[in-house]
Amino acid sequence: MDLLSRRRTLLTIGAAGAAGAGLLPLRLLAQPVTASARDVPYVPTPQDVVERMLQMAKVGKNDVLFDLGCGDGRIVITAAKQHGARGTGIDLDPERIGEARRNAQQAGVGSRVNFKVADLFDTDVSAASVVTLYLLPNVNTRLRPRLWQQLKVGSRIVSHAFDMGPEWPPEKTDQVDGRTIYYWTIKEAHKRASKA
Ligand SMILES: C[S@@+](CC[C@H](N)C(=O)[O-])C[C@H]1O[C@@H](n2cnc3c(N)ncnc32)[C@H](O)[C@@H]1O
């Protein structure tokens, strides 16, 4: 099982068990679920997986890459530093965005990248030629209609660890250190389906 899925399963099991046993503090159970609640915990992609994701998408200097849920910015920063791309990273966590901005300055790519505190479900991705994801299966599935609607034909999507469900099988997959990378491109048929 992938690290992220394992962590989420353990958290869910732990929370359910604690709640059942009356151990979970009531104030936590009573927390409202807001529109900007994080959909995915922070777990960074290992650097060798980042590099393979960028190779798989053939990222180059004419690309604009968006990482939705960018964490410390490593995918966007590597795309700029190693492949000459421009990029935007979106994350709901201001601490992660601060870290990503500092990492970009240190890597000398501050002028080619941009990091924003925002909800990925409120983000317009139409400027992207490449979108990278390390989210969760249900988040990918919810994102799919937005990707079909907003991205241009020929845009590439690469996801670490999770696919898009049976409605959108990947065109390619690859394995690095026991982790799966999934790859899709936007076709005319997706644009037509998104307008229907
Ligand atoms: C598994 S981490 C991936 C980090 C980075 N993309 C990487 O691969 O190293 C997922 C990130 O998504 C962010 N996140 C979760 N829900 C989000 C949302 N609705 N909008 C924006 N960011 C979100 C989390 O704060 C976390 O940093």
98 C-alpha to center of ligand 1: Å?
14
pLDDT computed for residue 36 by the predictor: 59
pLDDT digits (tens, 9 = 90+) for 73-97: 999 999 999 999 999 999 999 999 9
The arithmetic mean of pLDDT across residues 170-176, rounded, is 98
8 A C-beta contact, residue 71 and residue 100: yes
Residue-range definition of the domain harbouring residue 85? 40-195
Q: Which two tokens stand for residue 158?
A: 């690469």
One domain for residues 28 and 44:
no
40 C-alpha to center of ligand 1: Å?
6
Q: Who lines ligand 1 at CB under 6 A?
A: 4, 38-40, 42-45, 67, 69-71, 74-75, 90-93, 96, 119-121, 134, 160
8 A C-beta contact, residue 58 and residue 84: no
173 C-alpha to center of ligand 1: Å?
22
Q: What is the pTM of this model?
A: 0.86
AA letter at 159: S
One domain for residues 116 and 170:
yes
94 C-alpha to center of ligand 1: Å?
11
- Could you give the percent of the chain with pLDDT greater than 70? 82
CATH number at residue 79: 3.40.50.150
List the alpha helices (DSSP H) in the chain. 3-20, 26-29, 47-56, 74-83, 94-107, 137-150, 188-195
| pLDDT above 70 for 160 | yes
Distance CA 104, CA 110 (A): 5
